[in-house]
Amino acid sequence: MLACASIPAGVYGQAVSSSAGNRTPLKVAPRMEPAPTAEISFGYRLHTDGWSAYMDYGMMRSSETKDKDKFYNTHILQFELSEKKHPKQEKLTVQDMGGNTLGKYVFGKINNFYAVKGGYGYRKMIAGKPDPGSVSIHWTSIIGPSLGLLKPYYLNLDGLSGANGSIKYSDDTRPKFLNQQLIIGGAGFSKGLSEMKPIPGAHFKTMLHFDFAADKHTVLAVETGVDIEYYAEPIPILYNREAQSYFASLFMSVQFGKRW
């Protein structure tokens, strides 16, 4: 019995020795970089009826565990400043007899129209991979309130006495306002600021977002889509064009920022 008991012990000792001698080195798993949970970015949009500059603050919900690697799926808070221009408006240049530029103006323009917008939306990846260095395509929709700002457009006129005067459009000033022989240019952005009229409204935009960022902590994208706005009253921009309460435009934008 003693001999039998010693056999397993010997065999076991050889197995341990053999196992120790041929031990395979353990593989250390690469350290996973945590996915970003927030982002901030800035962009510029060129519309078919104007322009806008905007800032996005994005949030990735940590509860979306199934999409933890798709950090591009983002809830967005957006702040935007824009200017609407009538598609038919045209800027003219006034020159003296020597060819020197006296000023520039838009003939027949009676108001500048700006808008301050706030919005909430969601950006979801629909194609591509979230790997660094690859291109991904996203669908984004944003909706929110808009505050329109209507500012009178002033023109500098060459008076009969040679003194310059600035006027805005009205029934009384219409003959001079539309007389190109008297106009020497626009009065500038600051003229009429104190007369701005607020007009409440709302906006909605939907777009394709193409992300070209080289790493997870950079925002570099191009967007293209449709922007729709509605205001509580018609917005007159050109004297000979019907004022309208709604605007619809196509746009393209560039966007850059960072994630963390």
Tell me what pLDDT residue 3 has: 47
> What is the pLDDT confidence band of residue 62, given thresholds at 50, 70 and 90?
low
Q: Is residue 155 part of a domain?
A: yes
**Is 85 in contact with 109 (CB distance < 8 Å)?**
no
Of 16 and 60, which is predicted with more confidence?
Answer: 60
CA distance 190 to 156: 13
> What is the pLDDT confidence band of residue 13, given thresholds at 50, 70 and 90?
very low
CA distance 201 to 245: 9
Neighbouring C-beta atoms of residue 212, cutoff 10 Å: 13
pLDDT digits (tens, 9 = 90+) for 143-176: 999 999 999 999 999 864 444 579 999 999 999 9
Q: Is residue 124 part of a domain?
A: yes
**Is 218 in contact with 65 (CB distance < 8 Å)?**
no
Q: Is residue 243 part of a domain?
A: yes
Q: Is residue 171 part of a domain?
A: yes
| Among the listed residues 212, 83, 222, 62, the one whose alpha carbon sits nearest the alpha carbon of residue 149 | 83
Domain of 243? 34-259
Q: Is residue 26 part of a domain?
A: no
74-92 b/e (C-beta count within 10 Å ≥ 16 → b): bebbbebebebbbeeeeee
Q: Is residue 227 part of a domain?
A: yes
Tell me what pLDDT residue 128 has: 81
The yes-or-no verdict on residue 11 having pLDDT over 50 is: no
Tell me what pLDDT residue 21 has: 53
∠ CA 204-72-69 to the nearest 5 degrees?
150
Provide the domain count of the chain. Answer: 1
pTM exceeds 0.85: no
CA distance 124 to 115: 27
CA distance 181 to 171: 19
- Tell me which DSSP letter residue 65 carries: G
**Is 156 in contact with 103 (CB distance < 8 Å)?**
yes
Q: Is residue 2 part of a domain?
A: no
Tell me what pLDDT residue 238 has: 96
The yes-or-no verdict on residue 16 having pLDDT over 80 is: no
Of 118 and 134, which is predicted with more confidence?
Answer: 118
pLDDT digits (tens, 9 = 90+) for 178-226: 999 999 999 999 999 999 999 999 999 999 999 998 888 899 999 999 9
Specify the CATH number for the domain of residue 181: 2.40.160.20
Q: Is residue 152 part of a domain?
A: yes
CA distance 43 to 150: 24
3-state secondary structure 143-173: EEEEEEEEEECEEEEECCCCCEEEEECCCCC
CA distance 56 to 209: 13
Percent of the chain's residues with pLDDT above 70: 78
